[in-house]
Amino acid sequence: MPGRLYHQDPRQRPGRRSLPTPQPSGTDTVMHKIHQIYIDGHFVTPHGTEVAPLYNPSTEQVIGEVRLADETDANAAVAAAKRAFASYSRTTKLERIAILKRLTAAFTDRLDDIKTAMTEEYGAVRGIVEGLIPLAPAMFDEAAKLLESYEFEQTRGTTTVSMDPLGVAVAITPWNLSAVFVAQKVANALAAGCTVVVKPSELSALQTQILTEAFDAADLPPGVVNVITGRGATVGDTLTSHPDVAKVDFTGSTGVGQQIMRNAADTFKRLTLELGGKSPTILLDDADIPSAVGAALTSGFLNNGQTCFAGTRILAPESKLDEVLTAIESAMPAFKAGDPTDAATGVGPVVSQTQFDRVQSYIRLGQEEGAHILTGGEGRPEGLDKGWFVKPTVFTGVTNQMRIAREEIFGPVLVVIAYKDEQEAVAIANDTPYGLQAHVFSQDPERARRTAEQLEAGTVLINRIFGDPEAPFGGMKQSGIGRHHHTYGLESYLEPRAITA
Ligand code: NAD
Q: Is the pLDDT of residue 29 over 70?
A: no
Please tell me the distance between residue 122's alpha carbon and the centre of ligand 1 in angstroms.
15
Identify whether 472 is part of a domain: no
Please tell me the distance between residue 10's alpha carbon and the centre of ligand 1 in angstroms.
34
260 and 294 together in one domain = no
290 and 171 together in one domain = no
Please tell me the distance between residue 411's alpha carbon and the centre of ligand 1 in angstroms.
15
Listed residues 240, 275, 310: the one ending a domain: 275
pLDDT bracket for residue 391 (50, 70, 90): very high
Q: Is the pLDDT of residue 22 over 80?
A: no
**Mutation pick for ligand 1 pocket among 172, 185, 211 (CB with most ligand atoms within 8 Å):** 172
CATH code of 347's domain? 3.40.309.10
Distance separating the N- and C-terminal Cα atoms of the chain: 62
Residue 16: its pLDDT value, please? 38
CATH code of 114's domain? 3.40.605.10
Please tell me the distance between residue 256's alpha carbon and the centre of ligand 1 in angstroms.
7
- What span, in angstroms and rounded, lies between the C-alpha atoms of 471 and 460? 11
Listed residues 248, 275, 302: the one ending a domain: 275
242 and 316 together in one domain = no
For 37-52, write each residue's pLDDT tens digit: 999 999 999 999 999 9
**Mutation pick for ligand 1 pocket among 184, 258, 275 (CB with most ligand atoms within 8 Å):** 275
DSSP bridge pairs for 459: 437
Q: pTM of this prediction?
A: 0.95
Identify whether 486 is part of a domain: no
Counted residue by residue, the chain has a size of 501
Give the position, in ligand 1's atom list, of the atom nearest the Cα of 203.
Answer: 26
For 427-453, write each residue's pLDDT tens digit: 999 999 999 999 999 999 999 999 999
- What span, in angstroms and rounded, lies between the C-alpha atoms of 113 and 110? 5
**Mutation pick for ligand 1 pocket among 201, 238, 242, 408 (CB with most ligand atoms within 8 Å):** 201
What is the 3 state secondary structure string of 287-324? CCHHHHHHHHHHHHCHHHHCCCCCCCEEEEEHHHHHHH
63 and 125 together in one domain = yes
Q: Is 408 in the pocket of ligand 1 (CB under 6 A)?
A: yes
**Mutation pick for ligand 1 pocket among 185, 204, 240, 251 (CB with most ligand atoms within 8 Å):** 251
Give the position, in ligand 1's atom list, of the atom nearest the Cα of 175.
Answer: 26
Report the mean per-residue pLDDT for the chain: 94
Q: Is 303 in the pocket of ligand 1 (CB under 6 A)?
A: no
How many Cβ atoms are within 10 Å of 464's Cβ, its own excluded? 12
Identify whether 108 is part of a domain: yes
Q: Is the pLDDT of residue 18 over 90?
A: no
309 and 261 together in one domain = no
Q: Is 249 in the pocket of ligand 1 (CB under 6 A)?
A: no
- What span, in angstroms and rounded, lies between the C-alpha atoms of 359 and 137? 33
Residue among 240, 262, 212, 242 at smallest CA distance from 79: 242
pLDDT bracket for residue 5 (50, 70, 90): confident
Give the domain extent around 379: 280-466
271 and 353 together in one domain = no
**Mutation pick for ligand 1 pocket among 173, 308, 488 (CB with most ligand atoms within 8 Å):** 308
Spatial neighbors of 15 by CB under 8 A, at least 6 apart, are none
- What span, in angstroms and rounded, lies between the C-alpha atoms of 413 and 417? 13
Number of domains within the chain: 2
Please tell me the distance between residue 257's alpha carbon and the centre of ligand 1 in angstroms.
8
157 and 107 together in one domain = yes
Q: Is 240 in the pocket of ligand 1 (CB under 6 A)?
A: yes
Identify whether 189 is part of a domain: yes
Identify whether 234 is part of a domain: yes
Residue 28's alpha-carbon distances to 31, 63, 167, 296, in angstroms, are: 9, 10, 46, 39
Identify whether 19 is part of a domain: no
Q: Is 119 in the pocket of ligand 1 (CB under 6 A)?
A: no
Please tell me the distance between residue 459's alpha carbon and the centre of ligand 1 in angstroms.
20
DSSP bridge pairs for 395: 373, 415
pLDDT bracket for residue 286 (50, 70, 90): very high
Please tell me the distance between residue 284's alpha carbon and the centre of ligand 1 in angstroms.
33
Q: Is 434 in the pocket of ligand 1 (CB under 6 A)?
A: no
Catalytic residue annotation: 274, 308
Q: Is 234 in the pocket of ligand 1 (CB under 6 A)?
A: no
Q: Is 251 in the pocket of ligand 1 (CB under 6 A)?
A: yes
Q: Are 63 and 205 in contact (CB under 8 A)?
A: no
Please tell me the distance between residue 221's alpha carbon and the centre of ligand 1 in angstroms.
29
Atom 24 (ligand 1) nearest CA? 174
Q: Is 411 in the pocket of ligand 1 (CB under 6 A)?
A: no
Listed residues 251, 275, 299: the one ending a domain: 275
Please tell me the distance between residue 252's alpha carbon and the centre of ligand 1 in angstroms.
2
Q: Is 354 in the pocket of ligand 1 (CB under 6 A)?
A: no
268 and 299 together in one domain = no
Give the position, in ligand 1's atom list, of the atom nearest the Cα of 257.
Answer: 2
Spatial neighbors of 64 by CB under 8 A, at least 6 apart, are 22, 30, 31, 32, 33, 34, 53, 54, 205, 206
Q: Is the pLDDT of residue 21 over 70?
A: no
For 256-261, what is the mean pLDDT? 98
Residue among 432, 356, 82 at smallest CA distance from 224: 82
Q: Is 132 in the pocket of ligand 1 (CB under 6 A)?
A: no
pLDDT bracket for residue 30 (50, 70, 90): low
102 and 215 together in one domain = yes
Angle, alpha carbons 202-207-211 (nearest 5°): 115
Q: Is 294 in the pocket of ligand 1 (CB under 6 A)?
A: no
The enclosing H or E element of 77 equals helix 71-88
264 and 232 together in one domain = yes
For 123-160, write each residue's pLDDT tens digit: 999 999 999 999 999 999 999 999 999 999 999 999 99
